Structure 1
Amino acid sequence: MSEEEYELMDELYFVQPFSYLKETLGWEEERLLLVLQGLYERELIKCLKEPDREIFDEVEVVKEGRAYYYLATKKGLMEHNTM
């Protein structure tokens, strides 16, 4: 897990909207979307349409990610905590 991914995972112990992540981390949108996409592809995070409505279809985070909420998966938390 890269330092960027680790920093982002710190924020995903609870459901967070894209806007919160952007503001909290202070990253450019493109950078944030690319890191989110990488974590999603490795099943370390899940995407949600609403705070309690997970998306089960395949998601293109880079294209659609501004509208979503994010949460670390169990796998993601385990990997984050072993760093």
Structure 2
Amino acid sequence: MSDAEFDLLDELYFVQHYSYLQEVLGWEDQLILTTLDLLYQKGMIKCLNEPDQERFDQVDLFKEGENLYYLATKKGLMAHNAI
């Protein structure tokens, strides 16, 4: 797990909107979206339309990512805590 993946997962113990990640991490959009996509492809985060409405379809984070909410999955939390 890269430092960026670790730092982003650290913010996703609770449901957070993309704008929160921008504010807290202070990263460029491209880095946030790329890191979110890596974590999503590994099954370490899930995407939500609203804080209580999970997406079950395949999400294109580079097109929709700025409008979504995110939450670490059990797999993501286990990997984050193993370090």
The answer, yes or no, to whether TM exceeds 0.5 is yes
CA–CA distance in structure 2, aligned partners of residues 5 and 67 of structure 1: 20
CA–CA distance in structure 1, aligned partners of residues 57 and 13 of structure 2: 22
What amino acid is the match of 1:30?
Q
What amino acid is the match of 1:46?
K
Q: What does residue 37 of structure 2 align with? A: 37
**For structure 2, which runs of at least 5 residues remain unmatched after alignment?**
none
Q: What does residue 53 of structure 1 align with? A: 53
Please state how far the C-alpha of 1:13 moved relative to its aligned partner: 0.1
CA–CA distance in structure 2, aligned partners of residues 62 and 81 of structure 1: 27
Number of equivalent positions: 83
Q: What does residue 25 of structure 1 align with? A: 25
**For structure 1, which runs of at least 5 residues remain unmatched after alignment?**
none
Q: What does residue 71 of structure 2 align with? A: 71
Please state how far the C-alpha of 1:62 moved relative to its aligned partner: 1.4
Please state how far the C-alpha of 1:76 moved relative to its aligned partner: 0.3
Q: What does residue 13 of structure 1 align with? A: 13
CA–CA distance in structure 2, aligned partners of residues 61 and 12 of structure 1: 16
